[in-house]
Chain A
Amino acid sequence: MGVAMDDTSAVLEARRAHNEKLTLKADKRRATWFPLAILVALVCLPALQFAGNYNYVLHLVLFTACYVTMASGWNILGGFTGYISLGHNVFFAIGGYFAGMIFARYGISTIILAPLAGIVCGVVGYFLGTIMLKTRGPSFIISSLALVMIARILLDHWKFVGGANGVALPANDLPVEWAKLPYYYAFIVMAAFAVWASYKIKHSKFGLGLRAISKDEIKAESAGINTRLYKVMAFAISGAFVGMAGAVWGEYLTYIRPNIFTIILVSVYMVLMCILGGKGTIAGPVIGAILIITFNEFFVATLGASEINILATGLIMVACLLFFPLGIVGTLSKHGRLPRVLNWD
C-alpha cells in the first residue's frame, strides 16, 4: 500500500513540475511589448515628413496596414474556422462602394464612415454566410469564387455607381506632404484593432468554438456548439474587417472602380498572407502582409511587369502549400523555434 502511495505522489509531483514548466514556457514566450513597440514606432513615423518627403514610405506602411486589417479579418474565417474564402474582396468592394458613394454625395469622410461600412459588410456577410456556409470544403471555395464573378458583373453594369468607369472622389486639400496622414492613421488604427480583435476572438469561447469547427465540425456540433451560427458569425465578422479597410481605401485612391476592388488578386493576397505567415495564428497575417507587400513592391519596382508579379505570387503560394503548409509562424512553433517576439497568440 505504501509503495502505491509513493507511486501516486511521484506521478503527481511529475505532473505538477510539467505543468509549471508549461506555464513558465508560455510566460517566457509571450511578448506583448513587441507589437506595442511597433505600433508606437509607426505612430511616430510620419515625423519623417519634417526631414523630407517620405510619402513613399508612408504609402508602403499604409498599404501594408490595409492588408494586415484584411488578412487578420480573413484569418477569423479562413484560419480559425477553416473555411477558405477566395471571395473576400467582395466585402472590400462593398465597404469601398458604400463609404465611397456617401462620401461622393454628402462629403462625409470615409474614415468616419469606416465603422459603419464594417457593420454593413457584417450584415451582408451574415446573409451571404447563411447561404454559402451550407457548403464546405472545396464547394465553399468554388462558391466564393462565383461570388466574386457575380459581384464584378453587377458593379460593372450598375449605372448608379458609374459602371466599369466607377466614380471619382475628391482629394483632400492638405499640402502634399501631409495629405496621406489621415488615411495613414486610419489604417494603422484599423490594423491594430483587427490584430487586437482577432487575439480577443481567438481566446474567447466563440474562438474556441471556431477552432473546434475547423478541427472537426461534426464533433464540434455534437459537443453542443451551434456550428451554423458560429460559422456565419465568423463570416460576418471577417467580412466586416475587410469592408472597413475597403471603405477608406477608395478615398485614399480618390476613386472607386470595379477593377480596383473586385480583382481576384486582392482575395489571393489575403489568403496568401495568412498561409505564408501561418493560418490561425495572430502574428501570421501580419508577417505575411509585410512579406507579400515587400515582394510585391520588389517585383513591380525591379521588373515593372504585373505578369511577373502574378507568376511570383503563384510560385510563393504553391511552394508554401507544398513545403510548409503551416506557414512561418506555424512551422517555427511546431519545431519550438518561434522567436519570443513573434508569439502573439
Chain B
Amino acid sequence: MVDFIQTLVLGLALGGVFALMGSGLSLVFGVMRIVNLAHPVLIITGAYAAYWGFRTLGVDPLVMLPVAAFILAIIGLILYKLVFEKEAKSAKFTQMTVLLTFGTAMIIEGALGTMFTNTQRVTSPEYATDAIFIGDVFIPTGQLYAGIVSLTIIASLALFLKYSRFGYAIRATTQNRDAAELLGVNVNMVSMVSFVIGIALAGAAGSLVSFVFSFFPAKHWEWIAILMSLVVLGGMGSILGTVVAAFTLSVVAAFVGDFFGSTWSTMTFFLALFLVLLVRPQGLFGEKPELA
C-alpha cells in the first residue's frame, strides 16, 4: 500500500511540471492553430536562463522564473514577428507551419548547443535533493515546489482567461475567430499576445525543469512527443484538458516505470499518443480535409 501511494505521489509530482510545460503549447495551438514543435526547445532555453542565473549569480531558479519568462517572452515576440505573423493572419494552419516550427526548433537547438555545449546540466538548489516524509511516503521537495509553482501559474492563467477582458478575447478567438473579429476583437493582436504568453510560459516551465530534470539542447526531441501526447489527449487547445492529461499520464507512467523499469515509463507517453491517433483517426486537430 505504501508503495502504491509512493508511486502515485511521485507520478502526481511529475504531472505538475508537465502540466505547465504543456499549457503554453496548448494556448498557442488554441489561438493560432499552430502546432509549435519549437515549444520544448524553448522550455530548455528557459532552463538555461535559470541555469545561467544559478551558476553565475547564485540566484535561486524559482527567483529566476520571472526573468526566464521575460526573456522567453522577448524571444517569442521576435519569433512571432519574423516567422509566424504572416501565418497568424491566414487563420488556418497548414503542414508548412509544422515544418516551420520544426526548423525553428533546430535553429534554437543549434544556438543553445553552440553557447552551452551538449553537456547535461541541472541547477541544484538545496531543495532539489531534499524530501519531505509523510509517514513512510516521501515527497521530493524539488518536485513539490515545482508542482505548486506550476499549478499557481496555471490557475492564474485560467483566472485571467476566464475573467479579464483580454481573456474573453483570447477564448473567443480560440473558439470562433471570424465571430470574434466581427464583434470587434483585434484578432491579430490576440494572436501575438497569446503567442508571447505561451512562450513566456515555456520560460517559466524551463526554470522549474532546470532543477527537476537534467537537460541538454538535444533533449527536446523526446519532450516533443511527450508534450504532444499531453496536449493531444487533453483535446488540442484546452488548457484544463492538458493539465488533466499531464497528471493522468504522469501517474500511469510512474506505475509503468514501477513495474517494467524507467525507460518504459517514457514509452507510456508515446504509446498514448499513438492510441489517441487510432481512436480518433479523423485527425487530432479537427483539420479539414482541404487543408491536408
The answer on direct contact between A and B (beta carbons under 8 Å) is yes
CB contacts (< 8 Å) of B283 on chain A: these are 135-137, 139
Residues in A whose Cβ lies below 8 Å from that of B217: 307
Question: What is the CA–CA distance of A138 and B224 in the complex, to the nearest angstrom?
Answer: 14
- The yes or no answer to B225 lying at the interface (CB within 8 A) is yes
Interface of B (DSSP majority class): helix
- The residue that A218 contacts in the complex, of B263, B266, B273, B290, with Cβ under 8 A, is B290
Identify which of B107-115, B132-140, B191-199 touches chain A: B107-115
Q: Are B98 and A138 in contact (CB under 8 A)?
A: yes
Question: Is A308 an interface residue, CB under 8 A from the partner?
Answer: yes
Residues of A within 8 A of B107 (CB): 311, 314-315, 318
**How far is it, in angstroms, between the C-alpha of A264 and the C-alpha of B112 when the chains are bound?**
17
Complex: chain A residue closest to B218, CB-CB: A310
A313 touches B106 (CB 8 A): yes
Knowing A146-B228, A146-B274, A149-B222, say if A321 contacts B110 (CB, 8 Å).
Answer: no
B96, CB-defined interface residue at 8 Å: yes
Q: A139-B285, A141-B95, A146-B225 are in contact. Are A321 and B114 (CB under 8 A)?
A: no
CB atoms of B95 and A145 under 8 A apart? no
What is the minimal beta-carbon distance from B215 to any residue of chain A, in angstroms? 15
Within 8 A of A (CB), among B125-145: none
- Is A325 a contact of B93 with CB atoms below 8 Å? no
The segment from A40-48, A101-109, A150-158, A166-174 found at the interface with B is: A150-158
Q: Does chain A have a CB within 8 A of B31?
A: no
Docked complex: A105-131 residues within 8 A CB-CB of B: 131
For B35, list chain A residues within 8 Å (CB).
138, 141-142
Q: Is A6 part of the contact surface with B, judged by Cβ < 8 Å?
A: no
Q: How far is the CA of A63 from the CA of B31 in the complex (A)?
A: 43
> In this assembly, does B103 line the interface, its C-beta being within 8 Å of a C-beta of chain A?
yes
Encode contact with A along B263-292: 1 for CB under 8 Å, 0 otherwise.
Answer: 110110011011001100101110101111
Which residues of A in the span 310-329 have a Cβ within 8 Å of any Cβ on B?
310-315, 317-318, 321-322, 325
- Provide the residues of chain A in CB contact with B93, threshold 8 Å: 138
The answer on a CB contact under 8 Å between A318 and B263 is no
CB distance B224 to A308 under 8 Å? no
* B104→A314 contact, CB < 8 A: yes
**B158: which A residues are within 8 A, CB to CB?**
none
Q: How far is the CA of A313 from the CA of B264 in the complex (A)?
A: 32
| B270–A138 CB distance below 8 A | no
Task: Say yes or no: A218-B289 contact (C-beta < 8 A), given A150-B270, A150-B271.
Answer: yes
The A150-197 residues at the B interface (CB cut-off 8 A) are: 150, 153, 156-157
Contact B113 A146 (CB under 8 A): no
CB < 8 Å: which of A138, A217, A306 contacts B95?
A138
Chain A residues within an 8 Å CB radius of B248: none
Chain B residues with Cβ under 8 A from A157's Cβ?
263
When A157-B263, A311-B111 are in contact, do A318 and B277 touch as well, CB less than 8 Å? no
- Asked if A149 and B270 sit within 8 Å, CB to CB, the answer is yes
- The distance in angstroms between the C-alpha atoms of A311 and B284, with both chains bound, is 30
**B225 surroundings in chain A (CB, below 8 A):** 142, 145-146, 149
Q: Is B105 an interface residue (CB 8 A)?
A: yes
When distances are taken between beta carbons in the complex, the residues of chain B under 8 Å from A135 are 277, 281, 283-284
> Across the interface, do A321 and B281 meet the contact criterion of CB distance under 8 Å?
no
Q: Which of A134, A136, A141, A325 contacts B278 (CB 8 A)?
A: A134
Within 8 A of A (CB), among B180-215: none
| B108, B277, B292 — most chain A CB neighbours (10 Å) | B292
> A84 contacts the other chain (Cβ, under 8 Å)?
yes
Per the bound structure, the CA–CA distance linking A149 and B179 in Å amounts to 40
In this complex, the member of A156, A314, A325 whose beta carbon has the largest number of chain B beta carbons within 10 angstroms is: A314
Q: With contacts A135-B283, A157-B263, A217-B289 known, is A325 near B96, CB below 8 A?
A: yes
| A 250-291 to B, binary, CB cutoff 8 A, 1 in contact else 0 | 000000000000001000100100010000000000000000
A308 contacts B271, C-beta separation under 8 Å: no
CA distance A310 to B232 in the complex (A): 28
Cβ-based interface call for B5 (8 A): no
Q: A220 → chain B, closest Cβ, in Å? A: 10
Q: Which residues of B contact A146 (CB under 8 A)?
A: 225, 228-229, 270, 273-274
- Nearest to A134 among chain B residues (CB) is B281
B residues touching A (Cβ–Cβ < 8 Å)?
Answer: 35, 37, 83, 93-96, 98-100, 102-114, 117-118, 217, 221-222, 224-225, 228-229, 232, 263-264, 266-267, 270-271, 273-274, 277-278, 281, 283-285, 287, 289-292
A interface list, Cβ under 8 A from B: 82, 84, 86, 131-132, 134-139, 141-143, 145-146, 149-150, 153, 156-157, 216-218, 264, 268, 271, 275, 305-315, 317-318, 321-322, 325
Not counting A137-B285, A137-B292, A310-B110, a sample of 11 additional A-B residue pairs whose C-beta atoms are within 8 angstroms of each other reads: A136-B287, A136-B289, A139-B277, A145-B224, A307-B111, A308-B110, A309-B110, A311-B107, A314-B105, A318-B83, A318-B107
